[in-house]
Amino acid sequence: MPNVRPEMRIVYFLLALLFAGFLLLPLSVLFIRSFETSSGFDLSNYLSVLSNKEIIESIGNSFKVSSATAVITTILAFTLAYSINCTRIYQPLKRVIGTVIILPMLLPTITYGFAIMYSFGNQGLITKIIGHGFFDIYGFNGLLIGYVIYTLPASFLLINNSFKYVDKKFIIVSKLMGDGTLRSFSNTIVRPLIGTLGGAFVLSFILSFTDFGIPASVGGTYSVVSTQLYQVMLGSIPDFNHGAVIAVLMLLPAVLGVFLLYFLEKFNFQYEKITDIEWTQNKYRDTFLAMISSIFLLGMLSIFAVMFIAPFLNSFPYNLSFTFKHILNVFQSGDLVAVYKNSFVVSILTAIIGTVIAYSSAILNVRTQLKGRTAIDIVSMITNTVPGMVLGLSYLLLFNGSSLKGTFIIIILCNIVHYFTTPYLMAKNSLSKMNRSWETTGELLGDSWIKTIYRVILPNSVSTVIEMFSYYFINSMVTISGIIFLVTAQTSLVASKIKELQHFAKFNEIFVLSLLIFFTNLLIKFLCDYLQKRQVVNGKKIYRKSEAA
């Protein structure tokens, strides 16, 4: 690894400044404000919040519905991942399952709520088709459906990825040793995955506990922590100190969860080698699992189907004649087009600047000997822990009087910090696999450190950079929890606009805007996947030929 040079110190200093100003300082202010009263600092805010029946109930509700979500999501995600990894289900069907399952990631969570309402509500699409309603969707049931759809993609990706690192040969070994089906299953599949399954559970719990979009749309009178926080901060009588307390209370389970995740890491072990086996013929197993997966995915798609249908009908569900009226209205409304433009610009800038920041952080961390480089790992742990709403609120508290208030800059910075962890880890993973001597070689051949990064390191991690960009873009397109406290009339984004349109019951506009987000994200995803694949194809070609040589 290269010796420390001044350029590295400068980059490090700038990053330190950024995270001090937009992560540590705001969070400190949040803590301080939670203890602040008219007569100094004490626990009275906490006491009054914790004696407030409504708030206590909402915390209880959050725990209840998030736990239920976590159980269901983990089981479902495991079932789907198992169907893909351990069966002989028809290959194209496996591919469809793997693709459809992650589609909800391309939509803001607030849209899920409206889709659920338009599907299962009294006049809903599915209700109409079946002929009667099932249950009251406003409240626990609606939240549960929404949260499961929301948390499933992330949990599925986690478990599916871990499946790839399980040595399947042990299934044969276990059978040869005379294990029964159950013992074999628990020893060769469940045991190696137990850490990941626990991780999926914790992740689903935290995501549901801190989400704002779903309860904002389909929560009804069933109050949860995030809607309480919103009310306290932006309701008729805003109370910043109580808001700070609720934010801290929201942060606690997330902190616990992250510790739990690190603890669960201990259960993971590495196989020396990963071998794939040919799966035994088992018609019952495959048919059963294929049916379960398909039914679930169809159910999920049917919920979102209304989003693609309703805006093209005159007045769903009463007048079902086809029309482009609503679509045209949105495009003719300067207001909505402007909001879409805002979202797009914010996301592009978040993706570009965020990728640069996460990439430079990872370079300093894995490819230099800079003192204090491990501090970046701590930063990434913190950003992984802090929910978007808490971060947004802490910005509101810190920057309320400053000129940053009501700017796009503060929204972009919030998104960059909020979603920092994943792109940072992507970059770290890719950079740590590269040859350690490249920088030294570059230097001996006359390059400066920055020049070697540009001429050698960057070209060899293009694929990762594209992936980081795509992650940042899509997430900043769909986030609502992170930005809800930071947007103003001038800096309104699609996700927050949807919240506003809800007041006026303009559901067609809501769906059209959601479709716009969806297709924009889909386009970016396709584009990034295509560019990445081109990279990988090039890489593969090299690999195959060298094996032959």
Partner 1 sequence: MLKLQNISKQFDQKIVLENINLEINTGEIVSLLGPSGSGKTTLLNIILGLTKMDEGKIIFNGRDVSNVPMKDREFNIVFQDYALFPHLNAYENIVYGLRNKKGMDSEKELQEYIDFLELKPHLTKKIGELSGGQKQRVALARTLVTKPKILLLDEPLSALDGVIKESIKQRIQSIAKEYKLTTIIVTHDPEEALTLSDKVLIINRGNISQFGTSREIINQPSNDFVKDFILKQLQIKRQNIFNLFGEKYA
Strand 40-41 versus strand 36-37 pairing type: antiparallel
Q: Which is nearer to partner 1, 190 or 450 (CB)?
A: 450
Please list, in sequence order, all residues whose beta carbon lies within 8 angstroms of the beta carbon of residue 498, skipping any fewer than 6 positions away: 108, 110, 111, 114, 480, 510, 513, 514
Task: Transcribe 180-247 into DSSP letters.
Answer: -HHHHHIIIIIHHHHHHHHHHHHHHHHHHHH--HHHHHH-TT---HHHHHHHHHHSSS--HHHHHHHH
Token pair 């709403």: residue: 389
- Min dist CB 438 to partner 1, Å, is 6
- Min dist CB 360 to partner 1, Å, is 20
- Min dist CB 439 to partner 1, Å, is 9
- Min dist CB 447 to partner 1, Å, is 6
Residue 445 backbone phi and psi in degrees, to 5: -90, 10
Q: Which is nearer to partner 1, 43 or 450 (CB)?
A: 450
The DSSP output letter for 23 is I
- Comparing CA positions, the residue from 514, 215, 154 lying closest to residue 343 is 514
- Min dist CB 377 to partner 1, Å, is 22
Residue 37 backbone phi and psi in degrees, to 5: -130, 175
Would you state the structure tokens that stand for residue 549, as one six-digit string? 């040589």
Q: Interior CA angle at 267 toward 265 and 269, to 5°?
A: 90
- Min dist CB 415 to partner 1, Å, is 31
Q: Which is nearer to partner 1, 95 or 533 (CB)?
A: 533
- Min dist CB 457 to partner 1, Å, is 10
What b-and-e string marks burial along 2-37, b requiring 16 or more CB atoms within 10 Å of the CB? beeeeebeebbeebeebbeebbeebbebbeebbbbe
* Residues shown for the chain: 549
Q: Which is nearer to partner 1, 164 or 455 (CB)?
A: 455
Q: Which is nearer to partner 1, 176 or 549 (CB)?
A: 549
Q: Which is nearer to partner 1, 526 or 543 (CB)?
A: 543
Q: Which is nearer to partner 1, 275 or 437 (CB)?
A: 437
- Min dist CB 2 to partner 1, Å, is 9
- Comparing CA positions, the residue from 316, 342, 341, 311 lying closest to residue 328 is 311
> Is residue 368 classed exposed, middle or buried when 0-12, 13-18 and 19+ CB atoms within 10 A define those classes?
buried
Q: Which is nearer to partner 1, 374 or 488 (CB)?
A: 374
- Min dist CB 540 to partner 1, Å, is 10
Helix 140-163 × helix 283-309 angle, to 10°: 130
- Min dist CB 363 to partner 1, Å, is 17
The verdict on whether omega for the bond into residue 317 sits within 30 degrees of 0, i.e. cis, is yes
Q: Which is nearer to partner 1, 282 or 435 (CB)?
A: 435
- Min dist CB 458 to partner 1, Å, is 9
Q: Which is nearer to partner 1, 108 or 442 (CB)?
A: 442
Secondary structure of residue 162 in the 3-state scheme:
helix
Q: Which is nearer to partner 1, 52 or 440 (CB)?
A: 440
Task: Transcribe 249-265 into DSSP letters.
Answer: HHHHHHHHHHHHHHHHG
In angstroms, the CA 107 to CA 460 distance is: 32
- Min dist CB 129 to partner 1, Å, is 54
Binding site for partner 1 (CB under 8 A): 3, 435, 437-438, 440-447, 455-456, 459-460, 542-543, 545-546, 549
Q: Are 237 and 132 in contact (CB under 8 A)?
A: no
Q: Which is nearer to partner 1, 3 or 432 (CB)?
A: 3
> Of all helices (H) and strands (E), which one includes residue 125?
helix 125-130
In angstroms, the CA 112 to CA 514 distance is: 10
- Min dist CB 442 to partner 1, Å, is 8
Q: Which is nearer to partner 1, 57 or 447 (CB)?
A: 447
- Min dist CB 444 to partner 1, Å, is 5
Q: Are 461 and 431 in contact (CB under 8 A)?
A: yes
> Of all helices (H) and strands (E), which one includes residue 450?
helix 449-452
Q: Which is nearer to partner 1, 211 or 439 (CB)?
A: 439
| Paired residues of 40 in beta bridges | 37
Helix, strand, coil share of the chain (percent; to 5): 75, 0, 25
